[in-house]
């Protein structure tokens, strides 16, 4: 049986997933093979052989130089290395990576007409818009704030304002378990959970979740956060999480008004 050109193309792609991913990333970056070879100190024609699958197992250091020449972020780098069979860890983002994420979402945070903030994979809030301090008591001098502590630790003065704790806290634990599935083997993950388990409220709902079924989606928007704010009264928001495509260690959390009064209050805060 003869194969059509389309069949040949599909077979070729399936044989070289790492090479095809590299080629896609290079084309997206708008670079030629020669440019990348020069930036990565490779021999002429080497990248073409990697992309075509003629070189199936390039050295890790070689791949690292290639992805660096392409300006790849963490997730892109991880995807490519794993396609070539290398195990990649998931360290906490460094200061440079955090600043990149802040710069990348700055416009979105400012343009949102409701609370929104940037989280790293350790649930550190590293940037937020002007609406967030209307809900949570934040240290204006702080550069990073633990969102887990803000929600679960009464010392931060937010926990007593949550009007639907029996629904909201289990939903947060469910989302946490799902979102952290990529990082469970990392030392910092174990340290983070151990630290939070000293918080009585967190420990209560974390222990309860260990006897429940595994979930395959976080389902964040299904249970809103209801806050009884001084003077303002009760507001309801649905939490929506948008993960960074280039670096899955970052995501923006949007608190979307869940009912008309909350939307009116957000509009009043603009004025």
| pTM of the complete model | 0.85
pLDDT for the residue numbered 156: 92
Residue 10 has pLDDT above 70, yes or no: no
> What confidence tens digit (pLDDT) does each residue in 215-267 have?
778 888 889 999 999 999 999 999 999 999 999 999 999 999 999 999 999 99
pLDDT for the residue numbered 12: 46
In degrees rounded to 5, what are phi and psi of residue 253?
-105, 120
> What confidence tens digit (pLDDT) does each residue in 163-196 have?
999 999 999 999 999 989 889 889 999 999 999 9
Contacts of 222 (CB under 8 A, 6+ apart): 171
> What confidence tens digit (pLDDT) does each residue in 64-102 have?
999 999 999 999 999 999 999 998 899 999 999 999 999
Mean pLDDT of the chain: 91
In degrees rounded to 5, what are phi and psi of residue 221?
-70, -10
Report DSSP state, residue 223.
Answer: S
Q: Which segments of 62-185 are extended strands (E)?
A: 116-120, 124-128, 145-146
CB of 19 closer than 8 Å to CB of 53: yes
pLDDT for the residue numbered 4: 53
Residue 11 has pLDDT above 50, yes or no: no
d(CA 99, CA 69): 20
Question: What domains, with CATH codes, occur in the chain?
Answer: 5-83 (1.10.260.40), 95-270 (3.30.450.180)
pLDDT for the residue numbered 79: 93
Residue 7 has pLDDT above 50, yes or no: no
The two tokens of residue 33 are: 């093979």
Task: Look at 36 and 10; give whichever has higher pLDDT.
Answer: 36
């Amino acid at each position: 049986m003869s194969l059509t050109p389309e069949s040949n193309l599909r077979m070729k792609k399936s044989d070289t997933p790492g090479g095809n991913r590299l080629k896609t990333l290079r084309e997206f970056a708008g670079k030629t093979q020669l440019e990348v070879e020069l930036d990565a100190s490779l021999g002429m024609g080497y990248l073409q052989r990697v992309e075509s699958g003629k070189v199936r197992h390039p050295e890790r250091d070689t791949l690292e130089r290639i992805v660096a020449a392409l300006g790849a972020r963490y997730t892109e780098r991880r995807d490519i290395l794993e396609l070539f069979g290398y195990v990649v860890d998931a360290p906490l983002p460094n200061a440079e990576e955090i600043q990149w994420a802040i710069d990348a979402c700055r416009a979105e945070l400012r343009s949102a007409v409701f609370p929104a903030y940037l989280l790293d994979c350790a649930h550190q809030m590293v940037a937020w818009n002007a609406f967030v301090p209307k809900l949570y008591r934040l240290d204006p001098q702080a550069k990073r704030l633990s969102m887990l502590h803000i929600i679960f630790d009464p010392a931060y003065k937010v926990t007593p304002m949550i009007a639907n704790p029996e629904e909201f806290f289990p939903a947060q634990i469910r989302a946490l378990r799902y979102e952290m599935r990529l990082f469970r083997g990392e030392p910092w993950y174990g340290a983070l959970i151990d630290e939070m388990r000293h918080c009585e409220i967190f420990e209560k709902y974390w222990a309860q979740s260990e006897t429940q079924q595994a979930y395959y989606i976080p389902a964040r928007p299904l249970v809103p956060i209801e806050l009884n704010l001084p003077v303002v009264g009760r507001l309801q928001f649905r939490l929506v999480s948008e993960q960074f495509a280039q670096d899955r260690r970052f995501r923006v959390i949007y608190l979307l008004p869940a009912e008309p009064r909350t939307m009116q209050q957000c509009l009043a805060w603009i004025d």
